[in-house]
Amino acid sequence: MIIQTIVFYVLAAVTVGAGMAVIGSRNPVHSVLFLILAFFSSAGLFVLMGAEFVAMILIIVYVGAVAVLFLFVVMMLDVDFASLRAGFMQYLPIGSVIGAILLAELILVFASGSVDIKKPDAVAMPTPDPAQIANTEALGNILYTHYGYLFQIAGLILLVAMIGAIVLTHRARTGVRRQNIAEQVARRPKDVVRLTDVKPGEGATWKSD
Amino acid sequence: MTAFITPNYLLALPEIMLAGLACVFLLVGVFTGNRSTVPLTFASVGAMAIALGLVLAMDGARETSFGGMFVTDTFTTFMKCLVLIGAGATLVMGLGYVKREQMSRFEFPILILFATLGMLLMISANDLMALYVGIELQSLSLYIVAAFRRDAVRSTEAGLKYFVLGALSSGLLLYGSSMVYGFTGGTGFDAIAAGIKAYGPGNLPLGVLIGLVFIAAALAFKVSAVPFHMWTPDVYEGAPTPVTAFFSAAPKIAALALLLRVLLGPFGELASSWNQIILFISIASMAFAAFAAIGQRNIKRLLAYSSIGHVGYALVGLATATPEGVRGVLIYMALYMVMTVGTFGAVLAMRQKGQMVEEIADLAGLSKTNPAIAAVLGIFMFSMAGIPPFAGFFGKLYVFMAAVNSGLYGLAIAGVLSSAVGAYYYLRIVKLMYFDEPTEAFDRPVGREVMAVLVLSGIITALFFAYPAPILSGAQAAAAALFP
Amino acid sequence: MGLAIAAVFLPLIGAAIAGLFGRVLGQRVAPLVTVAAMGTSAALGIITFIDVTFGGNPGKAFLFDWISSGTFQAAWAFRIDELTGVMMFVVTVVSFLVHVYSLGYMAHDEHKPRFFAYLSLFTFFMLALITADNLLQLYFGWEGVGLASYLLIGFWYKRPSANAAAIKAFVVNRVGDFGFGLGILAIYLSFGSIEYDVIFAKAPELAGQTFHFLSGEFDILEVSCILLFIGAMGKSAQFLLHTWLPDAMEGPTPVSALIHAATMVTAGVFMVARCSPLFEYAPTALSVVTFFGATTAIFAATIALTQNDIKRVIAYSTCSQLGYMFFACGVSAYQAGIFHLTTHAFFKALLFLGAGSVIHAMSNEQDMRRMGGIWKLIPLTYILMWIGNLALAGVPFFSGFFSKDIILESAFAAHTGLGEYAFWLGIIAAALTAFYSWRLLIMTFHGKPRADHHTMEHVHESPWVMTVPLIVLAIGAIVTGYLLLPMVGEHGGVFGASILVLEHHNALEAAHHSPFWVKALPTIMAVLGIGAAYFLYMARPDLPAKLAKALRPLYLFSFNKWYFDELYDFLFVRPAKYLGVGLWKRGDGGLIDGVGPDGIAGAAWTIAQRAVRLQTGYLYHYAFAMLVGVAAIVTWYLFASSP
């Protein structure tokens, strides 16, 4: 148990530290890299809790896809992050005051000793015993039954997000030539080829019918 | 682990039907292109009408489904009716605008349909997770339609601002939810209520309250109550007018329904705690909106502040945490929906030489150039200012009465004073229309759909006092559902 | 009784028809309707007069309960007694004649229906006043005639001076009416009723009793009567409250004749006579009446000496004659006062209407300095004016002679200090009256024409609708003295129980036995006055100017009406205006509006501007505001819910 505790605190500290580094570092590429670090350590935390499926998903989806996409975007777009951060210092004092107050209050709440989470019996869906059932299977068992409703709506949300992405960005460009197979197949030589007798000194002229 | 029970799909029939039809419409649109915008708009309105019929067909007894995540009762019936009517009316009304202003894309009615679906899910939510997905479905659709005129800077700016701030509020919501889950051990509303009860009076950990504050703040953002209102004027102004009309009618009602449900349901035990938040938010909204609206020149911004103020008045009823007060809220929202839809109908008619105009000054002398619209808009303004015998007066009357009966005299006085200040900017519009020299006349014809909505909402606003029974009894029954 | 009531309401009907349907009926018909109604009313008035006053047949008629509130009862009832009979005769007959006269005088005015409606309305109020059976009804008529007077003075509302005069008349009357209203309230307070019968019956037992007010003891009857008399002073233009009457000449001349000579201004005299059962038990109040009456008589006469406006001379003369009537009442010779009221009504109406005829002839010229030499051109008017002036001056065998003599004799016979005061002032005033009357006659009709050529060419006799009423009034001015002499006969004349005179106050009885020199003196004075006027204005027309120069201070004092207008302007009008302007600009505009509507609106605007500025448009400001909101609420909870 002691090792688990140590690992938990290490991973947790890394997560928080990486999170702060994401917004703190001057180089946006570094920010993204710190983000990836935060994802990794979060995945470690999930593993620690026995949720290896979620941990793997986190790494595959967030690290493998989202974060890498971020990295590309950051590197490809020439965004002047220095100017974006120009006002940062101006608002830092008051912002940090409010943040500090909020943080202090939350610490106060959790440290007030009234934390008395009646677990595990009060928890709606406790983590099943990994020895009995594989993590992925257990997840599947409830995801498509108890949480089928949420699952469906999440699907709708993604659909809407997709529609939104298309609506807001997709443009039907004019002047772009596209291959139209039906048209190509339907072409006949007599429609498109014309034989013209070119007289000397006049040149050829195209006259459409 | 509790055994899985096959959910009662019939309870969610309107939602399932809407979701299915939305997907079908999407397919139709994809295959036929933008020329199907108008038919799809009418089809969407038809779908909403069917959903309305299905909602009304339910007997209203409290039933849950999907493992207790989804609930229907008289409250959901009432609120869903309002949302569907508001959404349908604004969709129909905006058709002319959509056609004229190069917004004629088939995704528009479908996104509105998805947003409406999200609202219905919000209203029926009986679980923090269901609440969250409902809100997200709704919000995501709204972000997109706010930025729908993607070539207009203000529209995209509106969409982006709304999206970022909406994400922040979602963050607050999730953070609050996690705290509540942590302290009470449940996400279902019934489980939360049970968890709070289990602590017993006086032993409640502060964490629950803090979680509640975060959730309430997120919901206050959705209803655009001060100080979580900052997005409203910019988004209202920037978004295309039919979208603004939709924003001010349907989502506000859904979000308020959620606020009522969350505060009175799982956190009903803590009414004496949260009503202080509501009290503060209510007074701040009423007062701030009354003053800020005076300085506006753009009619959509003005209506944004007006809607902030109206939410403040409605929250007066919630602050009482009594059935009477909740009934007041529901009546208020119903009447507000009618008035605001009508007012936006008039705004949609503001077109000069083929261009939409949005300055309040453009209304000058409207009584001479277009007496019919001036008269109807005048009725809405008087009604919103709370002048009898128009509907708005009764809305205010019921919430203030409830406040007085609960001993919240300060709140009632603050409300009356704010409405006195607020009367200034409503009556200024009337003054402009009736006593100032006409500028350019508005283009004619205004459009059949707009006129139909204008006339209908004008009649309801003007003659509510003659036959208030349907709304009153509906609100009464709906309020009773929240106080089992 | 029914006839009398019909006489009261006929003018109202006429007024209603002409006023409401004037446009429909047209310029010609509407006046005729009122004249017809008024004619009938006058006939009924004469019948009532003969029947009630001379037949000794008083009566009362109850119409309906007007106000019934707790112990306060006010009925709408008519009291037609001998006194009322005399008044009805005067009011209806003079009013009818003035109506007829106005047909000619106002022929070219485009608002004739309105004019006749007002005139008839006035007559109705006047009749309501004199037939009242209680103080409230009296007050109703009292205020009604004030209203009609206001409307008629300001009839030519496009003239600023007419509006100013109308407002002045109304405001000055308000001062008197305030006293009058207080008097009625005092009477109700002490007597518990406002019915004449009840009050009069109770007066003897309340005599000498006091009531407590603001840590002082006041005699009930004295205070009530003085308050009532203040009302009479206002309405009858007595000294101190007289300033409105000369200005009221801005109204059309028939109005001056009817309201400001014959009827309304005499309402005060009538009221004092009507309340004789109260005044008789209030000796101090009677002294006050005597003093003010006598003072007014001489005061107004001195002013009339130097005025140049023909109507103003007659107006001051009226004022002076009213003074006579009041001091007659003051020495308990109420009958003499009413007698003079009656004769005066005829000859003064005659003078006014005659003056109107002159003004008519002179193309609306009122200044006597621009008249003269027209007696041959308008001989009928000239003769009628002579008759009027003879009656006014009290030349023997004209009506004024009888009534003025009996008043002066009564004052003498009262054998009191104030009676002597009144007598001698009255004698001097009589000489002055004769003097200014002939000054008026001579300046107007004799001497060289001072009007321009154009006006003189157009001088013409008035049409018959104007001259016939004048002739009737002239006959009245000659014969009423004789015919109505029984009014001041032995044993209270014909007034029966309507006027109460206590045994030891019986100056009128004593007057019949006054020495010969007392009887002769007024006549001598009149002749002296006429002679002086003839000498100064006819024989030596250069003298008046020299005299005025020699006695410049006195002349100016008289010419400027004892500087009353200036004094009041300084004492009341300006302070009131300063106060009003101060309250308006500073109190209302600065304080109430400044702090109230304007201040709140301004503050709202300022707050609105700040609220608008909060909306910066920056996303991070918005997000920050949300977080601050959350933090604030959380903080509040931490501190509010932790014990």
Cα distance between residue C130 and residue C607, in whole Å: 65
pLDDT value of position C44? 92
B189 in A contact zone (CB under 8 Å) = no
Highest mean pLDDT among A9-18, B362-371, C544-553, C605-614: A9-18
Interface test with A, best of B141, B163, B196 (most A CBs within 10 A): B141
C159-205 per-position pLDDT tens digit: 899 999 999 999 999 889 999 999 999 999 888 888 998 899 988 88
pLDDT value of position B29? 92
Q: Which residues on chain B are in Cβ contact (under 8 Å) with C602?
A: none
Q: pLDDT class for C108, splitting at 50, 70, 90?
A: confident
Which residues are paired to C132 by β-bridges? C78
Highest mean pLDDT among B55-64, C137-146, C411-420, C570-579: C137-146
Q: Which residues on chain B are in Cβ contact (under 8 Å) with C611?
A: 288, 291-292, 295
pLDDT of A127 above 70: no
pLDDT value of position C369? 85
Distance to chain C for B105, nearest Cα, Å: 29
Chain B: residue nearest A150 by CA?
A: B130
pLDDT of A117 above 60: no
pLDDT of B214 above 80: yes
- Average pLDDT value for residue range B272-283: 89
Chain B: residue nearest C638 by CA?
A: B206
pLDDT of B371 above 80: yes
Cα distance between residue C423 and residue C430, in whole Å: 10
- Average pLDDT value for residue range C280-297: 92
A109 in B contact zone (CB under 8 Å) = yes
Q: pLDDT class for B384, splitting at 50, 70, 90?
A: very high
Closest CB to B230: pick one of C604, C605, C622. C622
CA atoms within 13 A on the CB side of B301: 21
Q: Are C562 and C307 in contact (CB under 8 A)?
A: no
Higher pLDDT, C592 or B24: B24
B455 in A contact zone (CB under 8 Å) = no
A105 in B contact zone (CB under 8 Å) = yes
Interface test with A, best of C619, C620, C636, C639 (most A CBs within 10 A): C620
- Average pLDDT value for residue range C397-412: 90
Cα distance between residue B273 and residue B291, in whole Å: 28
Closest CB to C637: pick one of B164, B172, B209. B209
Cβ distance of C615 and B172 shorter than 8 Å = no
- Among C147-151, C473-477, C558-562, where is mean pLDDT lowest? C558-562
pLDDT of A116 above 60: no
Cα distance between residue C154 and residue B198, in whole Å: 88
pLDDT value of position B185? 81
DSSP A10-52: HHHHHHHHHHHHHHH-SSHHHHHHHHHHHHHHHHHHHHHTT-H
> What integer best gives the mean pLDDT of chain C?
87
C294-343 per-position pLDDT tens digit: 999 999 999 998 888 999 999 999 999 999 999 999 998 899 999 999 99
> What integer best gives the mean pLDDT of chain B?
90
B34-56 per-position pLDDT tens digit: 888 999 999 999 999 999 999 99
Cα distance between residue C356 and residue C338, in whole Å: 26
- Average pLDDT value for residue range B383-412: 91
Distance to chain A for B32, nearest Cα, Å: 15
pLDDT value of position A126? 61
C377 DSSP 8-state letter: T
Torsion angle of C-alpha atoms C89, C91, C94, C96, degrees rounded to 10: -90
Cβ distance of B292 and C622 shorter than 8 Å = no
pLDDT value of position B103? 78
B74-89 per-position pLDDT tens digit: 999 999 999 999 999 9
C139 CB neighbour count, 10 Å cutoff: 20
**Which pTM was predicted?**
0.64
Q: pLDDT class for C4, splitting at 50, 70, 90?
A: confident
pLDDT value of position C464? 87
Chain C: residue nearest B289 by CA?
A: C611
A27-85 per-position pLDDT tens digit: 888 889 999 999 999 999 999 888 888 899 999 998 888 888 888 888 887 766 666 66
> Amino acid identity, residue C514?
S
pLDDT of C211 above 90: no
A103 in B contact zone (CB under 8 Å) = no
pLDDT value of position A122? 47
pLDDT value of position A121? 47
Cα distance between residue B159 and residue B44, in whole Å: 23
pLDDT value of position A120? 42
**C339, C345, C343, C375: which is closest to C357 by C-alpha?**
C375
Higher pLDDT, C314 or C540: C314
Cβ distance of A153 and B134 shorter than 8 Å = yes
- Average pLDDT value for residue range B99-116: 89
pLDDT of A130 above 70: no
A:B CB pairs within 8 Å: 104
Cα distance between residue C497 and residue C334, in whole Å: 12
Chain C: residue nearest A92 by CA?
A: C624
Higher pLDDT, B337 or C604: B337
Q: Which helix (H) or strand (E) holds B386?
A: none
Q: Are B120 and B52 in contact (CB under 8 A)?
A: no
Interface test with A, best of B206, B208, B214 (most A CBs within 10 A): B206
Cβ distance of B107 and A166 shorter than 8 Å = yes
Q: Which helix (H) or strand (E) holds C60?
A: strand C59-69
Distance to chain C for A103, nearest Cα, Å: 10
Q: Are B38 and B103 in contact (CB under 8 A)?
A: no
pLDDT value of position A119? 46
Q: Which residues contact A24 (CB under 8 A, 6 or more apart)?
A: none
Chain B: residue nearest A164 by CA?
A: B144
pLDDT value of position C514? 84
Chain A: residue nearest B149 by CA?
A: A168
A165-197 per-position pLDDT tens digit: 998 888 877 777 878 888 888 888 888 887 777
Distance to chain C for B221, nearest Cα, Å: 8
pLDDT of A87 above 70: no
Cβ distance of A102 and C638 shorter than 8 Å = no
In this prediction, does ipTM exceed 0.90?
Answer: yes
Q: Which residues on chain C are in Cβ contact (under 8 Å) with B234?
A: 615, 617
Tokens for C117?
């409606």
- Average pLDDT value for residue range C362-387: 87
pLDDT of B203 above 80: no
Higher pLDDT, B466 or A13: A13
Q: pLDDT class for A113, splitting at 50, 70, 90?
A: low
Closest CB to B221: pick one of C608, C609, C626. C626
B:C CB pairs within 8 Å: 79
Cβ distance of C630 and B164 shorter than 8 Å = no
pLDDT value of position A165? 92
Q: Are C285 and C229 in contact (CB under 8 A)?
A: yes
DSSP B292-329: HHHT--BHHHHHHHHHHHHHHHHHHHHHHTSHHHHHHH
